[in-house]
Structure 1
């Protein structure tokens, strides 16, 4: 609450305050503090540094294994057998380049969306970057602003600060001059200023964690699933590799170089080295694609998270409607008592008393903000800014007649008791999708226990909201994708229902007033939240409770919003989506920021997430099929005490043509499949039978060839390579479904490349592949066809099982 001394906008000069730097720091004082290092130097980063990216892509467990094997081959074998090392180098380079490219996109977008606090310097308000704040700066605050650094309140105009993100206390704290404010909190009502007392790494939030990402906890089932798979692979790889080393040295004891080459050839394909690479590349390209649409992804896994969402909670204002409003009508309720001119004067005075107007008050300012001689006769004695919890703002005025009264402007159904005649008129207007505010007068002071208790309603301010032109199409998209949309707003339930109904939102005809929600009964609240599509008169705390109630029913919830009343719900939702023009606090806790305020960008984010998840699941199956058949072949070789079927060069050809190159294209292709849980289970159910069939077929063909060419290892290896390629290309053909022209072309190109290696003499010599005779090669083909038919049968069983699992 404020106590101005005149009828102008209340300010610090009227508060009787004596801040240390009333006009803010001078330019010389700022320069002194910068020279002393007293600046807010906490790094605000949207992504990893280049050094971290290089380290993460180079220093991996599997790169270490492959690198060591590559070094061994350089010592004992010809260059052809070291090709797998060059592939790893190329893969790592691709990963680094793509992630650096994504980093630059993120950093550029982060600069656009970065908060720019206002400080007072040389007596003038100036916007500076977050890092530009220095010790003793006077930082100005308004509704929606985030407290960037720690400080002491110097000026307060009904300043209420929410510290729940730091302390867990849900109620806003009314701040007075001399009170402390902590970085990480945000303003929910009023305005003011504070003097920065701790900046940079000394600030409270900086001691806890980096700003802007402190409270974002996005779970990535994709990454955790891949980590689980890699852990299992490591468990298999170590003992199998040891057994393979022993067996090959035993078999090839007369030629230790050949033993080493065969051992390396068996170990290298066990490592799914490209799986992590393609996951990083897919995420990075997703960031770049969304960045082109002015969508800032503050955490990479958020792309995946939104793709898994089955419920989207929307704040009406700023999401379904544009932020601005227009006054359509000012309707006196008792023209004989208080006429239209007086109501217009009062609205102009109330508007001038609001230092940080919200969109509703801005519409009032636009309509009645110009002063006149009649309005100058009113004086503001006290002012109370709008609060989402109160649903009204007001001022105690000294009227031209000499009397004093409190004038309130806010929600009719909050200010008036149920059944009041004025509510019927307000509901009729609300049912048309209009927003209605009540203007009334009461003799109760603003600091009384209930200023609205003796309110006399005098007029209705009717506001026209501007629907976003893309809102209806976006809601249709979510409906087609089986993602339920729920509108959760602080406005009148009738008005919100009318707006949602005009956009054809299913269930909009039955809006629920949040004041009627069950209190203290989580199960009943969850039931109501699950079946209801539109909620009105929702407080910030209730938004949070509704999100939690939906999550308790197993829903993955996204929350969109732009105001401070959305912050708590955005923080608790699985994915928070903020509008770029929203408050600093909203953008700080959200994982995704729509910088152009376009609600229509959300389908692109969902589609990008589904592309990443669906395609990585496809290619993960390919990589793990290779791991399974490599482990099986190694075990069969160990038990039968025969030379390993392949040299490293053969493994490189097989991996590149049946997995590496195709996986790169498949990972970046469009994919609209609905994201589901159970990533590891589904991948293993595809990879294990595929790998077992491929490994068994290859070893069978190899064993039969050895019985005919016991002394010609090159011929045996060629038959085994042909068989494994045909089975692996069949696996690729299954994974690539449903077919498109480019997928068929991709499969054909891989087959053509292998045929060239067999038919072109210098290539066949380079890779040591030579098919001898007629029977063994065609036996290999026949075995591969039989294996392919088994793959089709196994795939149908797996597909049926996965379909049944998804309906459970």
Structure 2
């Protein structure tokens, strides 16, 4: 309920709404009831529309968020596992914990296999903490290795983490950077309106005008200058854009993510699950020791996978091909991203075996490889295969985590295949074509990663460096290595975060795509964090965008939709700035000449229907298709500066039409005012078509349909407003008299042509697609 009250307060109690209501009260005080009622009605209807649409967006996005919300695995009495939302947990429930899980509640460990927990959320210490049966675990911490069962002892605010334990994000729309810029502009223009009000009062008071006329002019100028609907329009476009993105399987968790996609300059991706498919297949096992044949190597590896993998894709691939040996397990060291290996000590056929399985570069520190063995592993990696090294150790007493370098012997290798994901080549081609630089940050072998990157079409796949090499570099050398390499292999989670920070701190808008708990730090540090729906809850929680179909290939569609949304906001910005600038020019000329401002508040509302309301609806329902990437950082340049000359020409022309009409037909001022409104409306409608040309919009079938519907709506509203006599009288219009415009034709036609030329001139800058970095 609090969320809905906040939405209502945000839409009905904003400074702009309150200011206009105060002005309406002033009109009531001077007995101008029609204008007071009308501007109050219009602003309340706008606020109502905004609140209704925001509530609709909230409810729709809430349903989508529930799809991506983290769930806890609860073990039922019959042994089955049910997934429930975190806030549905109860004290006494038994949880099944896997690597990558974010703990939803405080609890006590019942049993564990190599369980390690990162408690930095509570303690600030990033080192993993071992947890054994009987130990306490806390909400908001993360399982970085192993599996376990735990009994819930506290939930919600009763946990040590308190409010942090409620990790299901509530929908509370935060303004995007562009919206904040618009809000600042509204604030500045509001102060400008106050200054204009003082000037109007001073000038017209000296001229001897009545207080009622002065007040109506001040209100009209305020409505003209303050773009009260621009923020609402951008909010609606972003909200509906979020829903469209979600329908395309790209769920933005923040409205700012839409803007971020338009800014993306560097995209860092993982290999496994991003460039490659989720399916990992077992190719073969190869023995490096005469005491064990290939089959035995595979069975030993299956034992390690069974005890330590926690159901990950690599372990499942090994277990699908080979059955684990029967053994009495004595000690387990689960796989973690920092160690890049897992270990088991078990009694097999009466003999204690100590086994390690993991990345060759890391396992080989404990069990050195011969040159021939290393060459064989490199050959497999060069073919894009994934290799795990299996080693055995004679020591049966030293804890697995304390085994010393050189104390083991290579037993064999497990060779796996992870094929390129379908559609990834087209995705890479699209991103690089948009000027996005792709970097691959992976925990895999550099040769394997380079092979996959080359197959995906990523530029410079041969430029590879490992995490071990990065660790030896000082800050300056690290920065140079980050800039000159494409492939970063065998990196640790902290190194991923450091790489992301480097690119971002250079001013290059940086995105990160990941799915594992080891990606959470990098996702959080990135300007745009993209997580997979099937990924670790910890990574989903910190991401800006969740790919609901777990496919990296859906990102281009999301970028295209985001680009269209940002283009629509630019279009609406052009219309608002045109309205403001031409209104100020017209006001300045009338003040200088000492003549009455031609519009009443009702006239502006009539014009805004054509100039703002209908185009906003049109571009919300039919988002434009730009020919280039939109850069939100150029918003003011592409909108305000681009349309300013056109707006000045409109203001000069409308002022000329008004002045000529008053001069030539002083006894027909009502008709002159009506025709002035129609001329201004014509230029506003004309700009709707010019804006598309100015901003480089493709005129596809949807664009033609949108324009046709817009023109039909213009004609309908015009006919109704002038054809129904009570409505025409309410707006203070007279029947249109085109004969009054003949003296102004010599001005209207050349200005119309000049505006078209300026729009064409501005549009030439979009002939080449822009690149954003």
TM-score normalised by L of structure 1? 0.85
Q: Does residue 554 of structure 2 align to residue 591 of structure 1?
A: no
Query: 1:517 is paired with a residue of what secondary structure?
Result: helix
Spell out the pairing of 1:394-793 with structure 2 (5 A cutoff): 394-400=343-349, 402-416=350-364, 417=368, 420-444=371-395, 445-447=398-400, 449-451=402-404, 453-517=406-470, 519-667=472-620, 668-672=622-626, 673-676=628-631, 677-737=633-693, 738=697, 740=699, 741-742=704-705, 745=708, 748-749=711-712, 752=715, 756=719, 760=723, 762=725, 767-770=731-734, 776-792=740-756
Shift of 1:607: 1.5
User: Would the aligned equivalents of 1:236 and 1:631 in 2 still touch at CA under 8 Å?
Assistant: no
Query: 1:324 is paired with a residue of what secondary structure?
Result: coil
CA distance 1:312–1:739, change in 2 (3 Å):
closer
User: Would the aligned equivalents of 2:369 and 2:410 in 1 still touch at CA under 8 Å?
Assistant: no
Deviations 1:67-123 (CA, angstroms, capped at 9, x unpaired): 344556678447588555444344333323332232222222222222221245658
User: Would the aligned equivalents of 1:560 and 1:570 in 2 still touch at CA under 8 Å?
Assistant: yes
Shift of 1:572: 0.7
CA distance 1:167–1:527, change in 2 (3 Å):
farther
**Cα distance in 1, alignment partners of residues 502 and 308 from structure 2:** 36
Residue range with higher mean Cα deviation, 563-572 or 513-522: 513-522
Shift of 1:145: 0.5
CA distance 1:240–1:590, change in 2 (3 Å):
same
* Gap regions ≥5 residues in structure 1: 1-42
Deviations 1:544-573 (CA, angstroms, capped at 9, x unpaired): 111112113221111111111111111111
CA distance 1:224–1:681, change in 2 (3 Å):
farther
Query: 1:505 is paired with a residue of what secondary structure?
Result: coil
CA distance 1:118–1:752, change in 2 (3 Å):
closer
Spell out the pairing of 1:48-67 with structure 2 (5 A cutoff): 49-67=3-21
Q: Does residue 390 of structure 2 align to residue 390 of structure 1?
A: no
Q: Does residue 144 of structure 2 align to residue 144 of structure 1?
A: no
Q: Does residue 263 of structure 2 align to residue 300 of structure 1?
A: no
Residue range with higher mean Cα deviation, 552-561 or 51-60: 51-60
Shift of 1:242: 3.8
Residue range with higher mean Cα deviation, 542-551 or 49-58: 49-58
Spell out the pairing of 1:342-357 with structure 2 (5 A cutoff): 342-354=296-308, 356-357=310-311
**Cα distance in 1, alignment partners of residues 715 and 206 from structure 2:** 38
Q: 1:331 aligns with which of 286, 292, 301?
A: 286
CA distance 1:229–1:451, change in 2 (3 Å):
same
Shift of 1:502: 1.9
Query: 2:331 is paired with a residue of what secondary structure?
Result: strand
TM-score normalised by L of structure 2? 0.88
Aligned residues: 753
CA distance 1:546–1:355, change in 2 (3 Å):
closer
**Cα distance in 2, alignment partners of residues 726 and 263 from structure 1:** 24
Aligned to 1:35: none
CA distance 1:801–1:73, change in 2 (3 Å):
farther
* Gap regions ≥5 residues in structure 2: none
Structure with more relative contact order (C-alpha pairs < 8 Å, separation 6 or more): 1
Shift of 1:697: 2.5
**Cα distance in 1, alignment partners of residues 682 and 82 from structure 2:** 69
Q: 2:228 aligns with which of 269, 273, 281?
A: 273
Q: Cα RMSD between the aligned structures?
A: 3.4
**Cα distance in 2, alignment partners of residues 498 and 772 from structure 1:** 73
Query: 2:179 is paired with a residue of what secondary structure?
Result: helix
User: Would the aligned equivalents of 2:382 and 2:447 in 1 still touch at CA under 8 Å?
Assistant: yes
Query: 1:161 is paired with a residue of what secondary structure?
Result: strand
CA distance 1:688–1:182, change in 2 (3 Å):
farther
Q: 2:188 aligns with which of 206, 214, 232?
A: 232
User: Would the aligned equivalents of 1:220 and 1:305 in 2 still touch at CA under 8 Å?
Assistant: no
Residue range with higher mean Cα deviation, 635-644 or 700-709: 635-644
CA distance 1:327–1:803, change in 2 (3 Å):
closer
CA distance 1:306–1:210, change in 2 (3 Å):
farther
Spell out the pairing of 1:48-197 with structure 2 (5 A cutoff): 49-70=3-24, 76-77=31-32, 79=34, 83-120=38-75, 122=77, 124=79, 126-135=82-91, 137-177=93-133, 179-197=135-153
**Cα distance in 1, alignment partners of residues 198 and 530 from structure 2:** 50
Spell out the pairing of 1:312-323 with structure 2 (5 A cutoff): 312-323=267-278
Q: Does residue 336 of structure 2 align to residue 364 of structure 1?
A: no
Query: 2:274 is paired with a residue of what secondary structure?
Result: coil
**Cα distance in 1, alignment partners of residues 9 and 173 from structure 2:** 24
User: Would the aligned equivalents of 1:80 and 1:767 in 2 still touch at CA under 8 Å?
Assistant: no
User: Would the aligned equivalents of 1:225 and 1:679 in 2 still touch at CA under 8 Å?
Assistant: no
User: Would the aligned equivalents of 2:509 and 2:527 in 1 still touch at CA under 8 Å?
Assistant: yes
Query: 2:297 is paired with a residue of what secondary structure?
Result: helix
Query: 1:394 is paired with a residue of what secondary structure?
Result: strand
User: Would the aligned equivalents of 2:70 and 2:168 in 1 still touch at CA under 8 Å?
Assistant: no
**Cα distance in 1, alignment partners of residues 173 and 501 from structure 2:** 15
Deviations 1:642-690 (CA, angstroms, capped at 9, x unpaired): 2221122321222221232123323542334313213234433134434
CA distance 1:554–1:165, change in 2 (3 Å):
farther
Deviations 1:340-388 (CA, angstroms, capped at 9, x unpaired): 3432432333233237132111111212236xxxx43x43221111111
User: Would the aligned equivalents of 2:140 and 2:164 in 1 still touch at CA under 8 Å?
Assistant: no
Query: 2:402 is paired with a residue of what secondary structure?
Result: coil
Shift of 1:130: 0.6
Shift of 1:582: 0.9
User: Would the aligned equivalents of 1:395 and 1:446 in 2 still touch at CA under 8 Å?
Assistant: no
Shift of 1:53: 2.4
CA distance 1:587–1:100, change in 2 (3 Å):
same
CA distance 1:684–1:418, change in 2 (3 Å):
farther
Shift of 1:530: 2.9
Residue range with higher mean Cα deviation, 302-311 or 747-756: 747-756
Shift of 1:330: 1.4
